């Protein structure tokens, strides 16, 4: 018997939504979630009863439970509490974010604090369970995508999230590269250069790739890890909140529930304006004062006004594209196709900007929501099954080096270097009889070390005492195919060596990751449906169908003298049972089934009598 190939999934872990895919019979396929949808919202919530909600269920209760609902956690991945970028993002978050023990970030949900990788792991666990339901067997291997412009800390945080979710992350792959893989899969094409314009919910990437005979080589990449659909939403939020503040003296952005309602309304209006010229925004009872009573918010937003409000964001995208093309020494006219990836690229103004930069229509050959996950699934199949003869050569998005005397940054590996790669540089001591050297590893483009991202520090000890400049220290950098950095330093004369893999900056220690993974595994075991729940689920679904079929006759009976009250009670009982089923509350669902069976019997009897009268 031929052994079946090992299961591997590709995951697009997005800011707003996430998608999971696989390759079946040589065809990349999106795996629907257990509710039947191809996209899962990247939203996690802790309900008041302590239940963990993920995806659409979490999103649905976000307004009434704003403080315990986490959205856009990807923007917090791998960030330091002390970073300027984080302080810009925090005021927009409807939940509470606090400082962690390693200058990292923790999210307060009720009594418990979670790190961003733990929250992301909850989304990944949900996608893993969807895949296991799809295959009917356990899944442990995955390729997970991240923005090309993510730095080392953010990549490590993504990998940690995978570990906590019980996944063996065989590769971290850049999102634009992944989309290009999906685009090029199964196509016979001549040599060409393609550009990938990837504007998602929270991040923007732009990459130029050279494609020839199954080799996908990234030539240059750039981006902005704090530019995405959320920022377009924030412009609408401010546009709604400022006049309300002027008129009523209340800043809706300071109240967590009001802010969540504004977020939902802004996103909905923005999406609708991709098809319409104007939309009405109505938010009744958004606030209240003792003096005036309830306050409502009403506004009309036009596409033209939205484009004016967000023009600066569009220009930030344009500047990144121009910079990357300059670095790759490419003229826009020389590019083959331009691929649009990420939901925000549906905005007509973005498409106009792309047409203007490249002088052509963007390609419609990839689904902007699904291409990244499909490419990750293809990469997984390539790594594990060698299904397609394709080779992927990616680049490092940032320069890497160390801090040297005077506070300067000495580059050792330049940005846009193909990975995996290794490079070294020999430094000398700066003081007489110096026996210790501190190696400070940084990532970025600024010539001053302090302006770049600190990745980690370690000490090279035991140097021989000698006049300054007489001891040589060889610093060696290695970058894996995942883009993960490891650094070692060698005393050339004595052979003494120290090294680090730069992982501490993801914010979690190995012990914390193991503990979180164990906790997540325990939760998953609790999610496995017991036979009794399966029986109740089947019976509840039968009752839902029976009520649905009976409803037209019930309406007729109500008109014939039964009245609306029994129907209203039945609708309420059905709603409660549906919620209990969704939240897997087995005992409570058993009680609801008994109630619904009694109601069904009584209503059927009433129908016979009601129809008899007619």
Q: Indicate if 474 belongs to the active site.
A: no
Asked whether 143 and 11 are in contact (CB, 8 A), the reply is: yes
Maximum alpha-carbon separation in the chain = 111
Q: Which of 74, 159, 256, 270 is catalytic?
A: 74
- Dihedral in degrees, nearest 10, Cα atoms 310, 314, 316, 319: -160
Asked whether 398 and 485 are in contact (CB, 8 A), the reply is: no
Q: Indicate if 319 belongs to the active site.
A: no
- What span, in angstroms and rounded, lies between the C-alpha atoms of 59 and 40? 10
DSSP string, 141-183: EEEEEE-TT--HHHHHHHHHHHHHTT-EEEEEEEHHHHHHHHH
Burial code (b: 16+ CB inside 10 Å, e: under 16) for 393-415 equals bbbbbbbbbbbeeeeebebbbeb
User: How wide is the angle at C-alpha 40 spanned by C-alphas 39 and 46, nearest 5°?
Assistant: 170
Q: Which of 132, 198, 491, 585 is catalytic?
A: 198
Q: Which of 175, 205, 224, 267 is catalytic?
A: 175
- What span, in angstroms and rounded, lies between the C-alpha atoms of 53 and 33? 14
- Dihedral in degrees, nearest 10, Cα atoms 529, 535, 536, 540: 120
Contacts 24+ apart (CB under 8 A), 306-314: 306/232, 306/235, 306/236, 306/269, 306/270, 306/273, 306/349, 307/349, 309/235, 309/236, 309/239, 310/231, 310/232, 310/235, 310/349, 311/349, 313/227, 313/231, 313/232, 313/235, 314/349, 314/350, 314/353
For residue 25, the 8-state DSSP code is: T
Cβ contacts of residue 54 below 8 Å, gap of 6+?
A: 40, 43, 44, 45, 122, 123, 125, 126
Q: Indicate if 74 belongs to the active site.
A: yes
Strand ranges inside 277-406, DSSP E: 278-289, 293-302, 338-341, 391-395, 400-404
Report the catalytic residues: 12, 74, 175, 198
């Amino acid at each position: 018997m031929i052994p079946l190939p090992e299961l591997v999934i590709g995951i697009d872990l997005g800011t707003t939504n996430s998608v999971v895919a696989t390759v079946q019979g040589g065809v990349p396929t999106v795996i629907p979630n257990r509710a039947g949808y191809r996209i899962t919202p990247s939203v996690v919530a802790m309900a008041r009863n302590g239940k963990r909600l993920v995806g659409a269920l979490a999103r649905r209760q976000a307004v009434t439970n704003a403080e315990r609902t986490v959205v856009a956690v990807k923007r917090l991945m791998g960030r330091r509490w002390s970073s300027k970028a984080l302080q810009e993002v925090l005021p927009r978050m409807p939940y509470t974010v606090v400082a962690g023990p390693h200058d990292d970030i923790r999210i307060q949900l009720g009594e418990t604090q979670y790190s961003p990788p733990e929250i992301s792991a909850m989304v990944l666990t949900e996608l893993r369970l969807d895949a296991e339901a799809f295959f009917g067997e356990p899944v442990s291997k995955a390729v997970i995508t991240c923005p090309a412009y993510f730095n080392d800390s953010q990549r490590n945080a993504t990998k940690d999230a995978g570990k906590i979710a019980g996944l063996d992350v065989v590769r971290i792959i850049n999102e634009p590269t992944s989309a290009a893989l999906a685009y090029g899969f199964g196509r016979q094409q001549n040599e060409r250069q393609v550009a990938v314009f990837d504007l998602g919910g929270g991040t923007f990437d732009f990459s130029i790739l050279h494609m020839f005979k199954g080799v996908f080589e990234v030539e240059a990449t750039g981006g902005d890890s704090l530019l995405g659909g959320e920022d377009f939403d924030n412009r609408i939020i401010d546009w709604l909140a400022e006049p309300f503040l002027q008129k009523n003296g209340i800043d809706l952005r300071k109240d967590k529930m009001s802010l969540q309602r504004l977020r939902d309304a802004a996103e909905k209006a923005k999406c609708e304006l991709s098809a319409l010229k104007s939309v009405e925004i109505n938010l009744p009872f958004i606030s209240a004062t003792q003096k005036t009573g309830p306050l409502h918010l009403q506004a009309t937003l036009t596409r033209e006004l939205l484009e004016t409000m967000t023009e600066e964001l569009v220009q930030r995208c344009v500047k990144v594209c121009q910079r990357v093309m300059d670095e790759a020494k490419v003229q826009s006219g020389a590019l083959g196709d331009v691929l649009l990836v990420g939901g925000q690229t549906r905005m007509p103004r973005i498409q106009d900007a792309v047409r203007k930069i490249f002088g052509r229509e963007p390609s419609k050959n990839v689904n902007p929501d699904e291409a990244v996950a499909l490419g990750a699934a293809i990469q997984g199949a390539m790594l594990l099954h060698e299904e397609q003869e394709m080779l992927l050569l990616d680049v490092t998005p940032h320069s890497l080096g160390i801090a040297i005397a005077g506070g300067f940054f000495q580059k050792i590996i330049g940005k846009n270097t193909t990975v995996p790669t290794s490079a070294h540089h020999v430094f000398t001591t700066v003081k007489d009889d110096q026996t210790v050297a501190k190696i400070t590893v940084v990532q970025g483009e600024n010539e001053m070390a302090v302006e770049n991202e600190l990745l980690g520090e370690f000490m090279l000890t035991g140097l021989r005492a000698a006049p300054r400049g007489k001891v040589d220290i060889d610093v060696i950098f290695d970058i894996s195919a995942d883009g993960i950095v490891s650094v070692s330093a060698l005393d050339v004369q004595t052979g003494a060596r120290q090294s680090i893999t730069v992982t501490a900056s993801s914010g979690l220690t190995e012990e914390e990751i193991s503990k979180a993974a164990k906790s997540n595994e325990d939760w998953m075991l609790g999610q496995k449906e017991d036979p009794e729940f399966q029986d109740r689920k089947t019976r509840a679904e039968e009752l839902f169908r029976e009520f649905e079929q009976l409803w037209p006759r019930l309406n007729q009976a109500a008109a014939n003298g039964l009245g609306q009250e029994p129907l209203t009670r039945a609708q309420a009982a059905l709603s409660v049972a549906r919620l209990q089923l969704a939240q897997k509350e087995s005992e409570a669902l058993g009680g609801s089934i008994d109630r619904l069976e009694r109601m069904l019997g009584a209503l059927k009897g009433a129908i016979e009598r009601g129809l008899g009268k007619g």
